[in-house]
Chain A
Amino acid sequence: MPIEARFAQGPWEKLPDLLSTGRIDVVLDGYEWMPERARLMRASLPYYIYELQLLARSDTPGVERGWNWLMAEPRKKIGVLGGSAAERWLAEHCTKAELVSYDGVTNAMGDVVLGRVDATLQDLPIAITYARDFPALRATGELVGPGRYVAYVRRADEDFGAAIDRAILALRANGTLESIFKRYGCWTKAQQDPVLLALPAAGAEDGPEPAFLARYGPRLLEAAGMTVLLSIAAFPLAIALGILVALGRRYGPRWLAWPLGLYVEVLRGTPLMLQLFVIFYVLPSAGIRLDAFFAAVLGLAVNYSAYEAEIYRAGLQAVPAGQMEAALALGMSRGLALRRIVLPQAVRIVIPATTNDFIALFKDTSVCSVITVVELTKRYNIAAMSHPADVLPLAVLAGVLYLAMSWPLALLSARLERRLHA
């Protein structure tokens, strides 16, 4: 084909959106043929038949028994790429295992090494490519779930799609594809299966799909519950930490001032996502291995504690010095005076600012999806990935859920503010 390729970067699961908005012209990145996608985009003939390879730590007892090991008690955790064919295949064929969804394939493999999950199911080319980066892992069990890697173009670009089909047929016929795949060690028997090499009809739906709300409502609601849980677990912790830091900076010994100042600046000056990555993926190398939920709560709490510390520092400064003196003159210790007289006044002063931060943290919980926590945004992404036709209503539904949760919060804080200042 006389075409010059220009490569464009985008989040893998968002490539169809980039295609439909015209920012790219073809998706050619290990995308599987799926009826939902084939209805929206023009799929090419398959250029590769993938199969799924199970990977686990080679020192796991019984791992050589492959799928029998995986299906046996105790219940296993399997890491998968969110929205991937592996995720769908496992959800359908392997209900006994617990699925943990990752943003990147190497994170899933790394967590198998760490022991956070027991195994991961990956497309064969990926399992082969990354094998040398994860020597502690081994392939086990037979290959499962064959499927087609295809190129997608916009439905309107039928000519372009047909040209890609002709090119793929030519590359198959002259052995180019075979030699490429052999070079990377992923040539399998499936590459010659005539059924797989043809495209199934993408026409009709598989059956009557349940109504939109019935299909997504319960799962999105459940994920919204996780969002709420993360917020209400993390924010009180953030405030407690922040108050301690603020008190330490204002009333603590002088040597404490600059480490606390550094704490605040480092946490405010680096992105939350990076901090979550460090807690989840780097701390384990120091022997601290946290469950995803606790890592998320800790990350949010520590990140927001820096902002709360600054807010409370200002709040403490806004309480007149005479309040502390009057309390001391009545015989209170500094600690008692802080607790009973100064802090309660500081709390009233900072309520508008902390409410703001709570709503911000509430929305920042979406960042926790990078460490496998399935909250509302993540669940939306997963649903949008497997049902691309429903992207718009899904986005609206997720947005409505966020608003339905944060709005009452804002009302509540306004009421609290009025009552405390009365």
Chain B
Amino acid sequence: MIRVHELAKRHGAQEVLRGITLSVEKGDVAVIIGPSGGGKSTFLRCLNGLERFDEGRVEIDGTTLLPHMERGLEARAHRAVRSRVGMVFQQFHLFPHLSVLENIIEAPLHVAHKPPDEARARALALLERVGLSSKAHTRPGVLSGGEQQRVAIARALAMDPQVILFDEPTSSLDPRMTGEVLAVMSDLAAEGLTMVVVTHAMAFARKAATHVHVFHEGRVLESGPPGQVLEAPREAVTREFLKLSAV
């Protein structure tokens, strides 16, 4: 599903990613953890073309992203990737001028060109699934953070993506709201949705991950099933990080 080969990215002299090779198979829940500044979010944003990179290759479901692509080619590749990859942001980024329902049907109507009735029915079903049926016609601005993030998840799901990227989805939420959002994400994982999740929520990693990748200073420090990486880490940096996260 996702194959990343020797991905490298620089911001001027600073090397943000220094050769990342990583695969995600269909049905995997890949959780990326690690100290801040390790390149986790940048890596995630390279997967759907929100960030350009300098070396290496990203392959998603048959579409290849390369550094320095010709503009037209790049735009086409980005669109192909984004039609299959959903994204959920730390700051939700719901569209404030649209109602909750309109947020969800915006892309199905104007990108996927689905019939309005079908898009609405699907959006209402998704709202039901994230527990927000009653909020269909409110503006996102009046919702709590946890509710907004659940709407954002429904918005991503509405495009029927093959994989959803979660960029620190609970980092701006309090513990109760974090629980609401993680519960929805766990359900999705249990249903077999392919997910790549950058998070500090170790409980979610333990419960839902199929693979855990530890990022440190632009490299993958270690990878493996959660039972191995979280319970018996090989690297000292991982042990230190897990000790701090547990506090």
Contact = CB atoms under 8 A, between A and B. Distances in A.
Interface of A: 320, 322-323, 325-333, 336, 340-341, 344-345, 348
Nearest to B139: A422
Given A330-B82, A333-B75, A323 B93 contact: yes
B211 to A, nearest CB: 23
B111 A336 contact: yes
B107 A331 contact: yes
A78 to B, nearest CB: 54
B155 A331 contact: no
B207 interface: no
A329 B87 contact: yes
A325 B110 contact: no
Contacts of A328: 49-50, 78, 82
Interface string B34-75: 000000000000001110000000000000000000000001
The range of chain B's interface size is 20 to 34
A331 B83 contact: yes
A322 B110 contact: no
A340 B106 contact: yes
B110 A326 contact: no
A332 B49 CA distance: 13
Given A329-B82, A331-B107, A322 B91 contact: yes
B86 interface: yes
B159 interface: yes
Contacts of B49: 328
Q: Is the interface of A mostly helix, strand, loop or mixed?
A: helix
B97 A326 contact: no
A331 B159 contact: yes
Contacts of A322: 89, 91, 93
B48 A329 contact: yes
B129 interface: no
Contacts of A323: 93, 95
A345 B107 contact: no
A348 B96 CA distance: 11
B79 interface: yes
Contacts of A340: 106, 110
Given A330-B111, A331-B159, A340-B110, A345 B93 contact: no
Contact of A326 (B93, B111, B159): B93
B95 A341 contact: yes
A332 B83 CA distance: 9
Contact of B111 (A320, A332, A344): A332
B63 to A, nearest CB: 13
A296 to B, nearest CB: 35
A392 B48 CA distance: 70
